Structure 1
Amino acid sequence: WWKALTKVVQSIDGMTVVSLTATPPYDSNNCEWKRYEELCGVIDEEISVPELVKAGTLCPHQDFVWTVVPTEYEKQYLDEYESSVARTLGELSRDEHLQRAIREHAWLTNAPDVTDAIFANPELAIALLVYLKNRQVELPPHLLGILDLQPEDIPDISEYWWQLLVSTYLYKPGGWPEDEELKTHRKKLARILRDRKLIWNRELQLSDARLIKRHITQSSAKIQACVDIYRHEREVRGAGLRQVILTDYIRDEGVRSNKEKQVEMHGAWPIFRELVHSLGDEERRTCALLTGRLVVLHESIAAQLKDEATLRPLEHAPGFVVIDAPARNPVTILTELLEAGTINVLVGTRALLGEGWDAPCINSLVLASNVGSYMLTNQMRGRAIRIDKKNPDKVSSIWHIVAIVLDRKKFGVQPHELFRPGLADFRELNGRFSTFVGVHQTDPIIENNLMRLELPYVGRKRDYISGAEHLALRKSFFRTGWSLESTNNTMIGRLHDIHKMDKHWQEAIGLGDAGQVVPTVSPDSPPTARPFHFGRTLFFFLITAITAFFTAAWVMANISTQIGVIATVAFLWSLPKFYTTAKLFFKHLPVDGTIHQIGLALRDTLCGTGIIDNSAARLKVKSYTVGSDVYVSLDGGTFHEKSVFADCMEEILGPIENPRYLVIRHDTFFGLKRKDYHAVPTRIGVKKEYAKTFHLAWQRYVGKADLLYTRTAET
């Protein structure tokens, strides 16, 4: 598409391109994103969901998560997969060819000119060390030194490290020995793994299998979950409920063949059938099914359509009829019935109702779909969050259903535990929540992560290798013996308080002066420069105070002229230094003081180097605290400039990965040495002069520091 549109734009002289979209493809890869920017330019302005809520264009809303445990059949499938993986890992650990290949890897033999390659892929280097540790082989000091790790820092081996190691061995030969024997072994190993369904399209799946993901995300346990969610919504909203349940598939094979499957599949028809079989006569007549090839209504409602459609009794759902060959679009017909309250719950497919369908009356949306893309997720959420002029007090609930398979005996503390096969659906849910913003469950904050819902079994854990914070399941939660499904009681309680969400949204969006959502950074452990400046401030204060005393004594003729002159010179020398260090100390004194100073240094660098095409005087760094959390953002400029600032701040304040330059803060106070390391952002580190500009700005705002280039053997 980009080639065709680019040619059109280039063929018309003087064309001005104005690009508008409700769903920017934020989750696209870098190559696709560059094509969007080449055609449309960078994003100049974005009107976010909270801004639209504040303006009254969208209604207040909240997300809910309903947790289910997959069926025994699905858990058995997962067990068979894990057994196959365990058998394969046992064979790999005894594979002599693989042992030799790893033993002779260039990174382990201290071959020349491998440092840059290791920096480009440090995780593979760690995987090699993990394997050696598992084999109880001495770890090579040169590789530990390059990675700045100690032997005790190397984690135990797991499926994650096996997958990284073996997939690289099979398909990325750089650094691996290349003799004919190992080439033959690679082909044989790949064939074995394909036969066991552990390789799909040259992608090894020891910890993240597509087939397992499909079974978990499409678990039939979600069918009953939809029924349970409907019951609780009906209890809270009564006849005012306007619910839509969206799925990926119809799954009406049983209706068309007149023979139901023994193993039920998750889809629109199974959900609808379970609803009408579970509800009483009054409620079941308000259920409807709307898909591309199957439209079902209760016969009492469908009777009014007999003159404009063919009605066919539905054997699998007594009292319901199939609408065939309607004179009007069935989507229009059922939308009118939903708006009128004739039907209260409509089950449909994402393909038909997920985008381009306007039904402002919807106040409850159940996403029984495993779609993870930003664009489609936002399109589906848009069905429920539009304002309804007939219901000005509308507050919507958006339900996400997640299936989790967790064997408590196998549940450990691996840093990559989210890659366990039984957590495939949970990982998709986590990715989905990173693509849209919403209000925090308890705090008046707008965020774009799953943490904002305060799920009982979700927490954060620090990776002891990289220092990165990541989402993890709370091990303590499972020690209590509670079932995952018990967390649904928390969701039910929150649903009964859904009317409070309007006030909660107003509190959250009322915090901003302009009512806008901007890219903001909140570090897990905010840096502080106070310890670095306190010692120097105290040192110069003492010198200034002592010399001032002697100067005053000399003026009063209580000491000799020689001592008085020396004291006066020392006083004049120390006074400006005391002023400078004291000023820096007090600038860093607030909780968010150091972050604010780092932000100022970054702003000046981005503007001075031309990375941001704006004047530093027109851009303001904003920092503030909410509870124990510290936030920093850029005020003024375009959305793109704010995003660049936020991305760079995240690199500076986050865990160090693989930067070209480091800023090192160091000081000694009463014999105690302290050092802090911060990465120079990638956008700045691409050029030496950019890095030097950042270093000078850092020293001006933050304090004394050294600039270190990391691409040398010494570092």
Structure 2
Amino acid sequence: MLESLSVLKFKFPWRSYQHTLLKHFDSHISDHHFHVIAPPGSGKTILGIEILRRLGKKTLVLAPTLTIRNQWESRLQEFFAKNSSFKNFSFDIKSPSDVTFSTYQSLHAFYKSFEDKEDYFKFFEKHQIETVVLDEAHHLKSAWWTCLMALKNRNSFFTVALTATPPYDSSRTELTKYFTLCGEVDDEIAVPDLVKENDLSPHQDFVYFSKPNDLEINFIVDYRRKIAQFQDDLLQDETFIVFLQNHRFYKNPKTHLDAIYKSTSYFSSVLIFLNACGIAIEQEKLEILGFYKDESIEFPELNLEWLEILLQNLLVTDREQLIEDEHYLSTLEKRLRKLNVFERNQVNFVGEQLLYKSLAYSPSKLKSIVDIVSAESASLGTNLSCVILTDYIRKEFLNTPFSDIETINKIGVLPIFQYVKNYCTHNEDLAVLTGSVVIIHKSILNAFAEIEPLHNFSFVALDHDEAFLEVSPKSKVEKSIVEILTQLFENGTIKVLIGTKSLLGEGWDAPSINSLILASFVGSFVSSNQMRGRAIRKDADKPNKTGNVWHLACVDPTATDGGREVDILKRRFEAFVGVTNTTIPFISNGFDRLNFPETILVDDISELNNQTLEKASQRPLITKKWQVSIGSGTKLTKQVKLLHLGEKPFETQKQVYFFDVVRFFVAELSLTIIWFYFEFILEGVQLIISRGFSYFIYAFLGAFIFRFGYKLYKAVSLYLRYGYLHKRIRKIGLTILDTLNALKFLNTNIQNIEVVAQRVNKGDVVCSLVGANNYENALFSKALIEVLDAIDSPRYLIIKTNLFRKRLKTENFYPVPEIFGNKKENALVFKKYWTKYLGRNKLVFTRQVEGRRLLLKARLFHVYNAFKEVSKEVTVWK
């Protein structure tokens, strides 16, 4: 160990969750990686310093910003060094010391400065840097990854990765790179642990909905109408129909089997479109899909998702193969571009970019912000500490007169400022803080002067409101504008602060925030979680603080689920753990915990918002819910939830096992049989007397078969295909658990692990491991989701089949999870345990011709769920 690091020592007792994490330090670091997920307020930086101290090697600490970089040095001096006397550090990556603090940008620039990259690697060898600490490691999905991965592949390092939110919403490629560099997650500090230890404040997320203005509604309705008309026209377009009928896949499918098996959704979209046109699909084409002769197929409806797949392939992916039809395809492309559904080589009928942009920056949200600030001010009074974060400044609205406020058509810092200033009372405690625009009320000048002399700044009154002053420094001052306004906000002089996410969203520390309004719509849920973390920090001066976090959503009037904005919020909420709004509260992630109705219509907005404002005002109740919920559990556990998609008539069910209808059908059939039995007995007395008992029996059996034969056949078929769903899910879970154990993925003794599956509200089924650690839970959840979700392209399939099932056409197809499908011997282990729990099956390798044929058939069996969320991973405190 370096002598300079050996003298460092943490000056205070470790919090219980920190102590637990550090207790397993040796086992975690054994693979030269220590990857920790820890929310804001958990002492990530302190943990990182303790880890680098224990490793005792020369260390490079990398942070995303200069502010965070500087925090590392100050935390080391304050919490580890005697009298802040640690000297063996550097901020210059070109002149490293025992501990070097830098940024990802600096390392990337340093890397690019070497023409010969060999010199870059030798530099680290020369300076004997053996530990690299990656703070806020989620940033690594950008270009900064390259210089770090190159270094890791060449030099041997201990990698310590710290993050509040891994970039789970990134592409699979980016996520793979992230975990390759950082290693698998070793441990996670849970938000409930922090609230329990009084290190984070009780808090709740709230969603405030808004209705688009008339212009936006007309735009959306007109957009949808034009697309619907295009779809109708295309279904009647003889030229397009003939074009598809002459497509090589449709005209000569047997000649192009390899291409069809590689692009099954493309081939399916051709068939689905032609079927929607009323064209009968020949049996030979269905046999290519793996269906038996005379087997009837219920084709899915030609929805916009299928039309997207068809046109995406025709206009982009497969275009080079259709060169003879280029003139026609160019004409088709122009039609789509005119509709604004084809941009950057992407067909999109949902309007993800066009409509989302329109709704995300809808000025209707400005009124939502006014409502929230007014309600929070009425609830908290002088204790209000509200921050509003957004993406853009919009300087063109700096001097908008009151008479023109209603003409503001964009959301941003200055539009929000104008609305709050003019529509909220007591606006003298309002301020704006961005990198280029700073505004304060003249009434706080004396408080400002107590921190920095006024003569060091210029103060210019706004054109249409002289009470507000734009502030800028005249020269270099001791304290920056950010520091001054932060101090004024912390001491309560400023009560509402409007700023940009880029300046205040990450690294900015203001623990007094008790109301945060997220008017930011750029970026992933990683940045959303970072911003949210500003409001849930504990405030030492206000021990009873409760943080309200507000999310804004503009509802799409043409969508019953709220539309694209609500959908994005739902995905972001997967990263947020909090207390539910249910009668009996518990701690979970996901949007469902807010207990909104599944259908969110424009007409319901006012009532939903009133309910939300009422809940937000009940801060003591939020604290009580946290206390009750924390007491009911000990740790966060991952569960897989199989979503109840609704029951369809049996004839249209081509899904594999997604509807637990058996028990209800059997109960209905049993009651009907009992009624029939008594009715027939009562009527049969005369029949026994006149014809004899044997005739009565034959008549009974004949009538029974006539009335119930088909229903019995249906019941048997349903049970063979679906079974009792929660029991079957548990058996699949046991199969996965035993396979993980056999292949030595488990560290915990399998005797201490239990698979639990049960039905919950609305018919959903949840399945989880009890007794497993975080890593084992993650492996189990990922594998189970792969088995349950619509089939993509697994290397191996499990087919539950026998002669009886073939005759009843109830074969089931399941993908072998990727973790077991990488090698045949691993897939065979999975098959072994599948046989143990779920009966006879056949293992099929899908990278051969017969396997591809069956894979195509399996995908078509899942076709009704291709565009639905079938299952999802939820995190629950248990």
- Normalised by the length of structure 2, the TM-score is 0.64
1:302 Cα offset (Å): 2.5
Which blocks of at least 5 consecutive residues in structure 2 are unaligned?
1-143, 645-657, 667-722, 858-878
**2:422 paired with 1:271:** no
Q: How does 1:271-670 map to 2 (within 5 A)?
A: 271-280=416-425, 283-305=426-448, 307-308=453-454, 309-325=457-473, 327=477, 328-407=479-558, 423-442=563-582, 443-456=584-597, 458=598, 473=599, 482-512=603-633, 515-524=634-643, 595-610=729-744, 612=745, 614=747, 617=750, 620-623=753-756, 628=761, 630-635=765-770, 639-654=774-789, 659=794, 660-664=796-800
* 1:56 aligned to which of 198, 201, 207: 198
- In the aligned structure 2, how far is the partner of 1:250 from the partner of 1:212? 22
1:619 Cα offset (Å): 6.1
- Contact (CA 8 Å) 1:23, 1:378: kept in 2 or not? yes
Task: Determine the structure 2 residue equivalent to 1:563.
Answer: none
Task: Determine the structure 2 residue equivalent to 1:574.
Answer: none
Q: How has the CA–CA distance of structure 1 residues 257 and 655 changed in structure 2, closer, same or farther, with 3 Å as cutoff?
A: closer
- In the aligned structure 2, how far is the partner of 1:347 from the partner of 1:277? 14
1:103 Cα offset (Å): 1.4
1:172 Cα offset (Å): 1.3
- In the aligned structure 2, how far is the partner of 1:67 from the partner of 1:105? 47
| Post-superposition CA distance 1:444-480 (Å, at most 9, x none) | 4433322221113x2xxxxxxxxxxxxxx36xx68xx
- In the aligned structure 1, how far is the partner of 2:400 from the partner of 2:628? 54
1:185 Cα offset (Å): 2.0
**2:396 paired with 1:253:** yes
* 1:707 aligned to which of 824, 842, 849: 842
Moved more, 242-251 or 302-311: 302-311
1:221 Cα offset (Å): 0.5
- In the aligned structure 2, how far is the partner of 1:688 from the partner of 1:72? 59
Q: How has the CA–CA distance of structure 1 residues 341 and 171 changed in structure 2, closer, same or farther, with 3 Å as cutoff?
A: same
Letter in 2 for 1:171: V
Q: Secondary structure at the match of 1:266?
A: coil
| Post-superposition CA distance 1:614-644 (Å, at most 9, x none) | 4653762342658556543335665333212
* 1:72 aligned to which of 208, 214, 221: 214
- Contact (CA 8 Å) 1:44, 1:638: kept in 2 or not? no
1:81 Cα offset (Å): 3.3
Q: Secondary structure at the match of 2:194?
A: helix
| Post-superposition CA distance 1:490-536 (Å, at most 9, x none) | 21221133321223223333333xx33233212236999999xx9xx
- Contact (CA 8 Å) 1:648, 1:682: kept in 2 or not? yes
Letter in 1 for 2:411: H
**2:218 paired with 1:99:** no
1:66 Cα offset (Å): 0.7
Letter in 2 for 1:500: L
- Contact (CA 8 Å) 2:399, 2:462: kept in 1 or not? no
Moved more, 115-124 or 265-274: 115-124
1:68 Cα offset (Å): 0.6
- In the aligned structure 1, how far is the partner of 2:530 from the partner of 2:269? 40
- In the aligned structure 1, how far is the partner of 2:528 from the partner of 2:335? 38
Aligned residue pairs: how many? Answer: 618
Q: How has the CA–CA distance of structure 1 residues 40 and 656 changed in structure 2, closer, same or farther, with 3 Å as cutoff?
A: closer
- Contact (CA 8 Å) 1:107, 1:143: kept in 2 or not? no
* 1:194 aligned to which of 316, 337, 359: 337
1:705 Cα offset (Å): 3.0
Which blocks of at least 5 consecutive residues in structure 1 are unaligned?
412-416, 459-472, 535-588
What is the identity percentage for the equivalent residue pairs of Structure 1 and Structure 2? 31
Q: Secondary structure at the match of 2:179?
A: helix
Letter in 2 for 1:436: F
Q: Secondary structure at the match of 1:20?
A: strand
1:205 Cα offset (Å): 2.9
* 2:173 aligned to which of 22, 27, 31: 31
- In the aligned structure 1, how far is the partner of 2:323 from the partner of 2:811? 46
Letter in 2 for 1:403: C
1:269 Cα offset (Å): 0.7
**2:312 paired with 1:167:** yes
Task: Determine the structure 2 residue equivalent to 1:696.
Answer: 832
Q: How has the CA–CA distance of structure 1 residues 653 and 428 changed in structure 2, closer, same or farther, with 3 Å as cutoff?
A: closer
- Contact (CA 8 Å) 1:652, 1:679: kept in 2 or not? yes
Letter in 1 for 2:347: L
Letter in 1 for 2:308: Q
Task: Determine the structure 2 residue equivalent to 1:560.
Answer: none
Task: Determine the structure 1 residue equivalent to 2:683.
Answer: none
Q: How does 1:77-88 map to 2 (within 5 A)?
A: 77-86=219-228, 88=230
Q: Secondary structure at the match of 1:370?
A: coil
Q: Secondary structure at the match of 2:528?
A: helix
- Contact (CA 8 Å) 1:120, 1:658: kept in 2 or not? no
